Amino acid sequence: MSNTDEKKPISERLRGLWHMLSGYRLLYVGALIAVAFAAVAKTSSFLVLRYMIDEVLLRDEIGRAVLLIALSFIGLALIEGFFTFLGGRLTARTAEGITRQLRDQLFDHLQRLSFSFHSKAQTGDLIQRVTSDVAAIQRFFGEQVIELGRILLLFGINFTALLLLNVELALVSVIIVPVLSIVSFFFFRKISQLYEQYQEQDARLSTVLQENLSGVRVVKAFARQDYEQDKFERENHSLFVRGRDLLKLHAYYWPVTDIVANLQIIAGFGVGALMVINGTITVGTYLAYAGMIMWIIHPMRGLGRLIVQASTGLVSYQRILNILGEPQESLTEGSVEPQGDVRGELVFDHAGFEYEEGQEVLHDISFRVKPGQVIALLGSTGSGKTTLMNLLPRFFDYTSGRITLDGIDLKAYPRKYLRRQIGIVEQEPFLFSRSIRENISYGVGRDVSEDEVIEAAQAAAIHDVIETFPEGYKTVVGERGVTLSGGQKQRVAVARTLLKNPRILLLDDATSSVDTETEAEIRQALDRLMEARTTFIIAHRIQSVMNADLILVLDKGRIVQRGTHDTLVNQPGIYQQIYDLQARVELELEREIAGV
Ligand code: DUT
Ligand code: MG
């Protein structure tokens, strides 16, 4: 995702974060107000303290006043406690709410990103952004911002109160603030940087883990556990180093600021004591000042700490923003508003396609398909068969020439409409860890009855297999349920497509992982499926393609031969070679079986 990892200036990120609060702003402002009340209550208790000492104790007017003062102390403590509690509740509500909102938004966005984004993005990295980066945002709003508000308020209120008591004292007690600010700023920049590296490394580790788990069969098959373990340990160690560096920096920061802050407090106490001796201030003022200076300096120390912590939130926000900034592919946009179903007439007119600019993988593809015809694509691996098919549902858009469907440019159709009209049985079908029934009825877009599901499964020659499972159609696939073989998965995928009943059918090697006998069964199902539908079929066995209306032989992204089986067999070229090869193998097999 490095291509999009540009950085927005901090002011813009802050504005973005403010925007993120939408829907919760009132609640959040309420939280801040509550925190302000709590801070005012705290400062007031220092003023009550001063009043008590100067006006009551020193003047021997005890009695009723003491009771009042005691009551006001208790009252202020209660008020502070209540508002602190209220502030906490409101903050938690906001933080939970916006992180839920953010996670939804991210998931939604990820669902709508293009094929090309997902084929390049690393799953582990994406998962990390939806989980750990969102958690950092949650801390940002749930703890850091509110704490920041509290600290600023405490500072502002106490400083104002001090100014009212004695201007000189007030100024003395903030003399250190510029120094603390500079130190904090320096650490803030450094820590942001380190944290960013930490998060990147964390993402790398997730990717290694995720890839390793997804590819666990390959790892085992090649006995590469040691290699993978080394790789993981290397990345893990690197994460450790970064985490350690981060902590080290924190470890420098705290003592430095602690020392500076404590010096300030001692100096403040000293100056205040001198003023009492000189008679500039009263003892009550001094005691109130002693309490308040704590609430001026501690916030300043905390401020640095918080700004540093909040910088992690800003980094995470940037990482999330980079995903949200990826263009979505519109599902509904299109210059035509098609009604009903397509007929399925396709024209490729010198069409070409490139995944990366300047590297064309399909060149000059021209052919016509009438509605209901069957087109077979044949060619060696990497020749562009899947790529050609992927142009039809607009997983990718062709980059040169033209493709029309029913006479209208393919790019004019909304993707959602096209994808409803087109059914795909993929090369490696994916099943969700849900029940078989749900997998078959996935994406049909309407309620389907049990009978329909069974009918589709029967047609796809998988019904009998499902019946043998302990819970039949309710059996959950994968992880906690049964594991299906490659061929069984393909047949479930065929059933799913049958049920969807699309006008155009794309079969990408739909029978690659089944034996010849099952293939014959599936082919019957497919033949039924192909009736009256425009069908593209990719297959490696001549038998699967020989009945096609048009066979296209691809080589390195070009059509090198075209025609029906009868013409192609009699033409020197790739098709004839494949045919000869397969016919010979079959003949030999027959001979062997016959025992000749
Ligand atoms: N290619 C990419 N990016 C992709 C997919 C494929 O650059 O996301 C390249 C790889 C290959 C060419 O495009 O050089 C055609 O790939 P395709 O998957 O279309 O080949 P195929 O004919 O379907 O091969 P196979 O029979 O192995 O499925
Ligand atoms: Mg392919």
From atom 19 of ligand 1, which residue's Cα is the shortest distance away? 384
> Per the domain annotation, does 335 fall within a domain?
no
Q: In this structure, are 129 and 8 located in the same domain?
A: yes
Residue 562 Cα, ligand 1 centroid: separation in angstroms? 20
| Rounded Cα gap, residues 498 and 509, in angstroms | 16
Q: In this structure, are 493 and 538 located in the same domain?
A: yes
Q: In this structure, are 466 and 435 located in the same domain?
A: yes
Q: In this structure, are 353 and 315 located in the same domain?
A: no
Looking at the CA of 379, which ligand is closest?
1
From atom 18 of ligand 1, which residue's Cα is the shortest distance away? 386
Residue 203 Cα, ligand 1 centroid: separation in angstroms? 28
In whole angstroms, how far apart are CA 423 and each of 67, 338, 493, 520, 549? Answer: 83, 18, 10, 21, 19
Q: Look at residues 272, 289, 324 and tell me which one is the last residue of a structural domain.
A: 324
What band does 178 get if pLDDT is binned at 50, 70 and 90?
Answer: confident
Listed range (36-40, 124-128, 155-159, 526-530) with the worst mean pLDDT:
526-530
Ligand 1 atom nearest to CA at 385: 22
> Per the domain annotation, does 216 fall within a domain?
yes
Residue 555 Cα, ligand 2 centroid: separation in angstroms? 13
Residue type, 374: V
- Is the distance from CB of 201 to CB of 240 less than 8 angstroms? no
From atom 11 of ligand 1, which residue's Cα is the shortest distance away? 382
- Cross-strand bridge partners of residue 403: 348
Average pLDDT over residues 299-325: 81
Average pLDDT over residues 273-295: 87
- Is the distance from CB of 403 to CB of 347 less than 8 angstroms? yes
Tell me what pLDDT residue 3 has: 40
Tell me what pLDDT residue 480 has: 59
Q: In this structure, are 314 and 378 located in the same domain?
A: no
- Residue range of the domain that includes 61: 3-324
Q: In this structure, are 223 and 354 located in the same domain?
A: no
From atom 26 of ligand 1, which residue's Cα is the shortest distance away? 381
Q: How many CB atoms lie within 10 A of CB 549?
A: 14
> Per the domain annotation, does 331 fall within a domain?
no
Looking at the CA of 556, which ligand is closest?
1
Q: In this structure, are 298 and 217 located in the same domain?
A: yes
Residue 235 Cα, ligand 1 centroid: separation in angstroms? 31
* Most confident of the following: 115-119, 327-331, 384-388, 488-492: 384-388
Q: Ligand 1, residues 360, 387, 541: which to mutate, most atoms within 8 A of Cβ?
A: 387
Burial class (CB in 10 A: 0-12, 13-18, 19+), 23: exposed
Average pLDDT over residues 492-515: 82
Q: What value does the mean pLDDT of the chain take? A: 86
What band does 539 get if pLDDT is binned at 50, 70 and 90?
Answer: confident
Which CATH number characterizes residue 558's domain? Answer: 3.40.50.300
Burial class (CB in 10 A: 0-12, 13-18, 19+), 318: buried
Q: Residue 162: which of 297, 59, 266 has the closest Cα?
A: 297
pLDDT above 60 for 134? yes
**Residue 596 has what DSSP assignment?**
-
Burial class (CB in 10 A: 0-12, 13-18, 19+), 75: middle
List, chain by chain if needed, residues with CB within 6 Å of any ligand 1 atom. Answer: 119, 355, 361, 379, 381-387, 427
Token reading at 23? 């829907």
| Rounded Cα gap, residues 465 and 490, in angstroms | 13
Tell me what pLDDT residue 2 has: 40
Residue 386 Cα, ligand 1 centroid: separation in angstroms? 6
Interval 143-171: pLDDT, tens: 888 888 888 888 888 888 888 888 888 88
Ligand 1 atom nearest to CA at 380: 26
- Is the distance from CB of 496 to CB of 442 less than 8 angstroms? yes
Token reading at 529? 């499926």
Bigger pLDDT: 67 vs 322: 322
Tell me what pLDDT residue 1 has: 42
Q: What is the DSSP string of 350-393?
A: EEEEEEETTEEEEEEEEEEE-TT-EEEEEESTTSSHHHHHHHTT
> Per the domain annotation, does 129 fall within a domain?
yes
- Cα-Cα-Cα-Cα dihedral sign, residues 391, 394, 396, 397: positive
Q: Ligand 1, residues 353, 386, 537: which to mutate, most atoms within 8 A of Cβ?
A: 386
Tell me what pLDDT residue 514 has: 64
Which CATH number characterizes residue 315's domain? Answer: 1.20.1560.10
- Is the distance from CB of 557 to CB of 570 less than 8 angstroms? no
> Per the domain annotation, does 489 fall within a domain?
yes
Ligand 1 atom nearest to CA at 383: 22
Three-state SS string across 521-534, please?
Answer: HHHHHHHHHHCCCE
Listed range (365-369, 459-463, 521-525, 589-593) with the worst mean pLDDT:
521-525
Interval 8-63: pLDDT, tens: 777 887 787 888 888 888 999 999 899 999 988 988 888 888 887 777 766 666 77
pLDDT above 60 for 4? no
Residue 338 Cα, ligand 2 centroid: separation in angstroms? 30
| Rounded Cα gap, residues 539 and 377, in angstroms | 7
Q: In this structure, are 447 and 384 located in the same domain?
A: yes
- Cα-Cα-Cα-Cα dihedral sign, residues 509, 514, 515, 517: negative
> Per the domain annotation, does 508 fall within a domain?
yes
From atom 14 of ligand 1, which residue's Cα is the shortest distance away? 382
What band does 550 get if pLDDT is binned at 50, 70 and 90?
Answer: very high
Q: Residue 149: which of 306, 317, 362 has the closest Cα?
A: 306
From atom 17 of ligand 1, which residue's Cα is the shortest distance away? 384
Residue 415 Cα, ligand 1 centroid: separation in angstroms? 22
- Is the distance from CB of 375 to CB of 504 less than 8 angstroms? no
Ligand 1 atom nearest to CA at 389: 19
* Most confident of the following: 84-93, 281-290, 482-491: 84-93
Q: In this structure, are 401 and 284 located in the same domain?
A: no
> Per the domain annotation, does 338 fall within a domain?
no
- Cross-strand bridge partners of residue 554: 379, 559
Residue type, 13: R
Q: In this structure, are 539 and 576 located in the same domain?
A: yes
Token reading at 51? 């009043």
For tokens 């403040």, name the residue.
268
Tell me what pLDDT residue 61 has: 65
Alpha helices in 215-340, H assignment, sequence order: 216-221, 225-278, 283-324
From atom 5 of ligand 1, which residue's Cα is the shortest distance away? 387
Residues 6 or more apart whose Cβ sits within 8 Å of residue 97: 23, 24, 27
Token reading at 414? 């909304």
pLDDT above 60 for 5? no
- Is the distance from CB of 291 to CB of 46 less than 8 angstroms? yes
Q: How many CB atoms lie within 10 A of CB 196?
A: 20
Average pLDDT over residues 295-320: 80
* Most confident of the following: 20-34, 108-122, 401-415, 510-524: 401-415
From atom 27 of ligand 1, which residue's Cα is the shortest distance away? 381
For tokens 């990497």, name the residue.
382
Residue 415 Cα, ligand 2 centroid: separation in angstroms? 21
Interval 329-383: pLDDT, tens: 888 888 888 888 888 899 999 999 999 888 999 999 999 999 989 999 999 889 9
What band does 479 get if pLDDT is binned at 50, 70 and 90?
Answer: low
Report the number of distinct structural domains present in the chain: 2
Q: Look at residues 291, 324, 357 and tell me which one is the last residue of a structural domain.
A: 324
pLDDT above 80 for 453? yes
Q: In this structure, are 149 and 182 located in the same domain?
A: yes
pLDDT above 80 for 518? no
From atom 25 of ligand 1, which residue's Cα is the shortest distance away? 381
Question: How large a percentage of the chain has pLDDT more than 90?
Answer: 28
Residue 385 Cα, ligand 1 centroid: separation in angstroms? 7
Q: In this structure, are 312 and 351 located in the same domain?
A: no
Residue 382 Cα, ligand 1 centroid: separation in angstroms? 5
From atom 20 of ligand 1, which residue's Cα is the shortest distance away? 382
Average pLDDT over residues 90-100: 91
> Per the domain annotation, does 339 fall within a domain?
no
Ligand 2 ion: Cβ-proximal residues, 5 Å cutoff: 386
Tell me what pLDDT residue 215 has: 82
| Rounded Cα gap, residues 344 and 183, in angstroms | 69
Residue 211 Cα, ligand 1 centroid: separation in angstroms? 21
Tell me what pLDDT residue 481 has: 62
